[in-house]
Each structure stands twice: as structure tokens, then as C-alpha cells.
Amino acid sequence: MTPGEPEPGSGAPASELEAARQRADALRTLIRHHNHRYYVLDDPQVPDAEYDRLVRELQDLESRYPDLVTPDSPTQRVGAAPRPEFTQVRHRVAMISLDNAMDDGALAEFHRRVASALPGSDEWVFTAEPKLDGLAVSIRYEGGLLVQAATRGDGTTGEDITANVRTIQNVPLRLLGSDWPAVLEVRGEVYLPHAGFERLNAQAAARGDKTFANPRNAAAGSLRQLDPRITAARPLRFCCYGWGEIAADPGESQFAMLQRIAGWGVPVSRELCQVTGLPGTRDYFDDLGRRRDALGYDIDGVVFKLDRLPDQVALGATAHHPRWAIARKFPAQEALTVVEAVEFQVGRTGAVTPVARLAPVSVGGVTVANATLHNLDEVERKDVRIGDTVYVRRAGDVIPEIVRVLPELRPADARAVVLPAACPVCGSDVIRPEGEAVARCSGGLYCPAQRKEAIRHFASRKAMDIEGLGEKLIDQLVERELVREPADLYRLTQGQFAGLERMGEKSAANLIAALEQSKETSFARFIFALGIREVGVATAAALAARFDSLEALMAAREQDFLRTSGLRGVGPKAAAAVQSWLLEHPDAQAAGDLGEWLMAQRIPGLNRAAAVALGRGCETLERLRAAAPEDLYGNSAALVEGVGPVVAAHLVGFFAQAHNREAIERLIAAGIRWPLRSAPSAAQAQPLAGKTFVITGTLGRARDAVKAELESLGAKVTGSVSKNTDYLLAGVEAGSKLAKAQELKVAVITEQQLAQLIGRS
């Protein structure tokens, strides 16, 4: 091609196109600079009119020369055409939540745990920053360009909101500088400042549209618009508080790494700083609390993180939260309202829970009309009556609850809250066992409320994992009396499913196939699917590992779950109090019944129940003097991980009921089965004792089920790879943890190799 000849497809001479390309590149660089000054630093260098002129010039160039448009151009923030649905994004590094400290004592306990785990100093340095009340997102950059953004979702999988996040003005589409890593996932909060929220609601009101209740709802709703142009019209902001996958060494310091991220143009909190020790965290919390209303955006607390990254790795994380960070929450906001009625709801396990219906009131920007009362003990303790004026708050800024009653404002016709004699759903008797706070419907699976919840639980992903059997479909099955218990699901025909709302022949066929596939399960999943109170995924896995058959589990008694010693009803404090008193009174002589004599001595810390138990257990003062403390107070050792006295009682009670045993028999008759195994010997029961595992990548089974199985076999499962890690269990798309394990020469194994290791292959 000769100089000056138009480039193919451009319609313009090469020299003209090159000049346009250079000018467009210069404009993009200049606009990015002014964006950073305005949206991140709040320090604009040019008037709005000049900024608008630069943008219009770039838009004009890109309009005349479409080949010049780049994905990271500032003009591309306006958003693309609406998309039909969101796709799922699997986080390469899980986005786990933070543990909360609701008061100063909990914050002090967090410091104590850190000091205990990392001995050597009490003056740990923490990063401190506001806990923004918005929506957590992860933004991924590759080669410095924004390539993907996703919501937190369930921590493992979120929704792809890339097109919407690209419209947020302070999110760089291209990182500044040139020393950024090849891959960088920044984690942070998308929020709506107060000024933007007020402007958004004013515009909605002027149009006659519904207004938002609070900035957080507005931000969350804005990010989940299928049309990015709607998101682009809303003044959202982003603030980075951390990172996920990163193709570089983040160094030694959380604070320093965040400063590096800020240098690449990603906004971090202006309130971010370092504090030292418990006094420093308290001072920061108090100071920010005083300035909370003047910040210009909603926060619900303060986040403290250990600053040294090696210390974070050493402490690791639970399945739910890192051990090296804590969110110190602000006190929930309260408001006065009136209890207009109290109704009772029935849950999956039959729990009959009182719910207060309130005169609607705004609490922290959210209209509250209902508040849980938990149980009758709570109602009696707070003396809540219908007609009372009460303080209501959103506990943890989430769940509305009644804090206290103002009895001085109680009307003369206020009515006491009375437990109904019959279930409000099915009419069965409501029973409240002696000594228990929770009342329960006796209808079991015959109660529609319990029936729906029991079947939802049975079909859930961590239980039988029946794909396609959703909440609305279960509602129809129960309401049409096609299903009264889980076993009925396996007797339904394709024609019965196809006759339901929103179900066609293909959907019905897929559901029949999913039901058939669910029959092949694991013993642990089946136990969890039964919905036994207090038996979660981990406990179900431990029970499956401990018992070699369903028959053995159903025949078990409390002594098969627990090893007990001491005297029931005597606590360690009461035992210590009695023995301390006896040492101070070596000449004391008992007369008559030992328990009554002990009560007569008025020993501090000893109540009547403990005194009676000591009298019955020891009979004489001489035996009591000779007993060791651990021989006196009632204590138990779990023979199965996660099964204490309460869970053991629930297990025994569940299998003791004839209708539960019959329901299980019908499930087995329907074809549900799992691989059988022989009972493990004592040596086999804990083959992984003392071993530390880390899990990464996508596994063939749910990660929490694998974790539960490892822990039931004696292993410790942590969240971070270190020199103390024995094995890295790696699935598909293993990320930075795999690289770390290889660097530290940690053994890396697959699921198949794990099965061989524990003798399951």
C-alpha cells in the first residue's frame, strides 16, 4: 500500500487515520487522568465544561473512525445493549465473609486469639478501614485491562456483572502505570453515596416511579440491571479493600499492597490507616463512629485486618471467615413502634415461632413491619404484649428484633401473647417440652408447613441434589397433595410433572432423570437429607464415617455418641466452689442428707440442683472430700465429631419415632442406595490424624462435603498453603495455591489419589 492510500475498510488515507489514532490515544490518556483526579482523588484539575469537551472530541473521533474504538475507552462506560441473563462466574479465590464483633468484649477476644496463635507480642499492627454498606464485588484485570467483574454470590460462584461495573466512573478500565501484575483481582464494595442516592430518589419521584428504601438496596439493584445503560445512569462508586488472585508476590503488608493497588488507579478508602494493638483499634472505632454521619456514605462498622501477610497465612481461615480479620459492627439503629399483633409461624422442624406484626417504622432507612420474638421464653423475658410500645432494631443491621418494651406506655387493653394449642397450619397439637424454650407442631411430615420445608431440604444441593425441583414446584406438589413425604417424589410420573404450571414435557423428563440420578448417593448426603435437627453437612459426614450402616445408626443410643463422666447437673464452677469451701473448712461435719446439708452452708456458686446431685452421687462428706473436680462435674467427650449431648438427643429422638423409621423405609424401597462398607477399626477410623490439608480448584463433589469427610478422618483443613501443609487437594482450575504448594514442595494430590490414601478406591 502506497503512502496516503486509504487503509482497507477505513475510507480514510493512512496518514489521516494515524493522526486520528494518535489523537484518540492522547485523549484517552488525558480523560483517564482527569477521571482519576475527579472520581478517586476528589481534586479536579479542569472545569466540567473542559472535561465534557475532551469526551465529546473523543466520541467524535471514534464515530468517524470506528476501528479506533478500544474496549477500555472512556466512551465505552455508557453500557452495551441489554443482556437476556447473567452468567455465573466461579471465583478462583473464594470470597469468604468476615466474622463480626458486636461489642468491645468480642473485639478484645479477637485480639486475645491473635496473641495466643502468634505469641511474641501484644502490639500487633492492623489495617483499619470503614465497613462500607454496599455490595461486594470482584474485578479482574489481565494485562492491565478490566476483563471481568462478578458479585460475591455464595462466596464460590457469583454473577457476571462486567458490563455494569464498566459503567462505574471510578473503576479504571485500564490500570495506571506499568508495574501491575499480569493478573490482578481486586475485591471491594460497590456503594451509592448519600448525595447520589438522594438525587436518584428525587428523579424517581419526579417520574412517578418507586423510590429506593436505602443506598445499599439502590446499589445492589443498580448492579443487577440487565441493561447496563440503566446502571450507567446511577452514580455508583467502588472502593477496594483487598485482592483475590494475583500473579505477583503481594509482599509483607496488607496496607502497603493496598497502596500499590491505589497507585494503579483503583480507589481505596481515604480512611484506610494502620493502628497498633487493642487500644489502637478501639480509638479508631470510636473516632470513626463520631464522624460516621459526616462521611457521605453508609457504613455499618469498621474492619480490622492483621497487617503482616505472613501472619495472615499463619492464622488461616475457617470455612466461613478469615481468622486474621474482624468486623467491629456499630450498634444497630433503633426506632419506636407499636406491636399490633403476634402471629405464629411453623418451620421445617416444626418449631412454632412467634412473630410480632408492627406498625411500620423506618429503621436505618429500611421499613420494618415484622420482628422475630424467637420463642416463648423470649416473649416472657421481655414481657412483650400486644399493644405495647417497643424499641425495634435491625440486629447486625439485618434481622429486625424487639429490643425492649416501654411498660409505662402500655395501654389498658394490652393482651398477653399466648401459645396456640393447635398448629396454625395443620391443626395438630402444639407441644412445648418441659425445660425447652421452643414449642413444636406434632404434625411432622403431615403438617404442610413442615412438609414443604422438609422436601425442600431433602432436595437441596447438599442433600439429595435433585436438580430442577425448586421451591415453586414443591409448593405445587404439596398443595395439590401429590407429595406428602420425600418418598412420594419417586412415585410421580412424567405426566404428573408435565401437568404442573410452568412445566413442559422436556422439563418433566429432565426432572424424572434427576430423581433417578439422585437415588445413587452417599450415606452422608442421605443422613443430612433426613433433616434431623442440628445435624449439618459436617456432622452427617462424621456420622457416615463412624457407623457402617443405616441400621447401626438407627439403633445407636446416646452412649454410642458420647462418653460421659461426673455427675449430671453439676458444673465445673459448682464443683470448684464446693471443693474450695471444704478446703477452707477442714473440720466441717455433715449431718443428715448431704445435699440438704450442702445447701444449708450457703456456699457461693452452688445452687440447689447441683447440691442435690452431689448428695446423691457422693452420699458422704468423706467421699466428696476425696473426689477430684473432674469426677464431680458432669462432662462428656464426643465419640463422633460434632455430636454433643444436644445433637445426640436429637438423633436418638428422631430415630425413636415410628413415623420417621417408616418414612426412611419407604425411601429405601423407592430405590435410594449408597455404597456399603464394613465398619472401620479403631486404627482405620482416623487415618489422617495429624495431617493438614488445603483444598483448591473445582472438585467432583461439593467442597464442604469433602472438607467434612477429611475432618471426620482426623485431618485439619485450612485455607492457606504454608510449610505446615501436608497435602494440597487440587481440582480443576487450581490457582495460586497450587503454585504456592509447588514452591514449598507440598504434596499435591487429586481426588482419586485421596481416595487411595484413605482406602476408599
Please report how many Cα atoms fall inside a 13 Å half-sphere around the Cα of residue 354, on the Cβ side: 26
Amino acid identity of 138? S
For the segment 277-283, the average pLDDT, to the nearest whole number, is 95
φ, ψ for residue 156, nearest 5 deg: -105, -40
Q: Is the pLDDT of residue 377 over 60?
A: yes
Q: Would you say residue 154 lies in a domain?
A: yes
> d(Cα 467, Cα 514) in Å, to the nearest integer?
6
| 15 CB neighbour count, 10 Å cutoff | 11
* The predicted structure's pLDDT at residue 278: 94
* The predicted structure's pLDDT at residue 3: 44
Q: Where are the alpha helices (DSSP H) in 633-758?
A: 645-656, 658-669, 682-685, 703-712, 736-743, 751-757
Least confident of 81-90, 154-163, 433-442: 81-90
For the segment 516-521, the average pLDDT, to the nearest whole number, is 94
For the segment 39-47, the average pLDDT, to the nearest whole number, is 59
The boundaries of the domain holding residue 508 are: 443-518
> Does one domain contain both 498 and 541?
no
Provide the phi-psi class of 717: left if phi over 0, else alpha when psi is between -120 and 50, else beta. Answer: beta
Q: Is the pLDDT of residue 260 over 90?
A: yes
Q: What is the pLDDT of residues 125-148, one digit of tens each?
A: 999 999 998 899 999 999 999 999
> Does one domain contain both 587 and 511?
no
Report the length, in residues, of the chain.
761
> Which one of 85-99, 134-148, 639-653 scores highest in mean pLDDT?
134-148
| 176 CB neighbour count, 10 Å cutoff | 18
* The predicted structure's pLDDT at residue 223: 86
Q: Is the pLDDT of residue 14 over 90?
A: no
Q: Is the pLDDT of residue 2 over 50?
A: no
What's the whole-number average pLDDT of the chain? Answer: 85
Work out the percent of the chain whose per-residue pLDDT is above 90: 39
Q: Is the pLDDT of residue 16 over 90?
A: no
Nearest Cα to 110, choosing from 259, 288, 243, 285? 285
For the segment 229-255, the average pLDDT, to the nearest whole number, is 93
For the segment 586-595, the average pLDDT, to the nearest whole number, is 82
> Which one of 221-235, 258-272, 521-535 scores highest in mean pLDDT?
258-272
Q: Would you say residue 434 lies in a domain?
A: no
> Does one domain contain both 33 and 61?
yes
Q: Would you say residue 425 lies in a domain?
A: no
> d(Cα 231, Cα 168) in Å, to the nearest integer?
8
Of 489 and 609, which is predicted with more confidence? 489
Q: At 150, list the grid cell.
A: 462478578
> Does one domain contain both 538 and 582?
no
C-beta separation of 547 from 553 below 8 A:
yes
Q: Would you say residue 429 lies in a domain?
A: no
* The predicted structure's pLDDT at residue 41: 61
pLDDT tier, 45 (very low <50, low <70, confident <90, very high otherwise): low
Q: What is the pLDDT of residues 529-583, one digit of tens each?
A: 998 878 888 889 889 988 888 999 999 887 788 765 556 666 677 777 788 888 8
> Does one domain contain both 261 and 397?
no
Least confident of 178-182, 199-203, 227-231, 333-337: 333-337
CATH number for the domain spanning 45: value is 1.10.287.610
> d(Cα 197, Cα 216) in Å, to the nearest integer?
9
Distances (CA, A) of 202 to 184, 211, 231: 38, 8, 17
> Does one domain contain both 134 and 273?
yes
Least confident of 484-488, 514-518, 649-653, 703-707: 703-707
Provide the phi-psi class of 4: left if phi over 0, else alpha when psi is between -120 and 50, else beta. Answer: left
* The predicted structure's pLDDT at residue 683: 46
CATH number for the domain spanning 689: value is 3.40.50.10190
pLDDT tier, 625 (very low <50, low <70, confident <90, very high otherwise): confident
Q: What is the pLDDT of residues 656-666, one digit of tens each?
A: 877 788 889 99
Whether this prediction's pTM lies above 0.85 is answered by no
> Does one domain contain both 48 and 183?
no
> Does one domain contain both 575 and 551?
no
Q: Is the pLDDT of residue 422 over 60?
A: yes
Distances (CA, A) of 527 to 464, 522, 534, 536, 674: 10, 9, 12, 9, 11
For the segment 139-160, the average pLDDT, to the nearest whole number, is 92
C-beta separation of 542 from 641 below 8 A:
yes
Catalytic residue among 131, 305, 707, 740: 131
> Does one domain contain both 173 and 128?
yes
Number of domains observed in the structure of the chain:
7
Q: Would you say residue 544 lies in a domain?
A: yes
Q: What is the pLDDT of residues 168-210, one digit of tens each?
A: 999 999 999 999 999 999 999 999 999 998 898 888 877 777 7
pLDDT tier, 488 (very low <50, low <70, confident <90, very high otherwise): very high
Q: Would you say residue 676 lies in a domain?
A: no
DSSP structural state of residue 407: G
Least confident of 135-139, 187-191, 253-257, 687-691: 687-691
Q: Is the pLDDT of residue 686 over 80?
A: no
> Does one domain contain both 467 and 388?
no
pLDDT tier, 43 (very low <50, low <70, confident <90, very high otherwise): low
Work out the percent of the chain whose per-residue pLDDT is above 70: 89
pLDDT tier, 706 (very low <50, low <70, confident <90, very high otherwise): confident
Least confident of 26-40, 418-432, 500-514: 26-40
> Does one domain contain both 415 and 281?
no
* The predicted structure's pLDDT at residue 44: 63
Q: Would you say residue 212 lies in a domain?
A: yes
Q: Is the pLDDT of residue 509 over 90?
A: yes
* The predicted structure's pLDDT at residue 641: 75
CATH number for the domain spanning 480: value is 1.10.150.20
Cα 354 to its chain centre, rounded Å, is 25
Active-site residue, 737 included: no
Angle value at C-alpha 145, between 139 and 151, nearest 5 degrees: 15
Distances (CA, A) of 91 to 243, 249, 318, 731: 12, 19, 17, 14
Q: Would you say residue 160 lies in a domain?
A: yes
> Does one domain contain both 409 and 536?
no
pLDDT tier, 155 (very low <50, low <70, confident <90, very high otherwise): confident
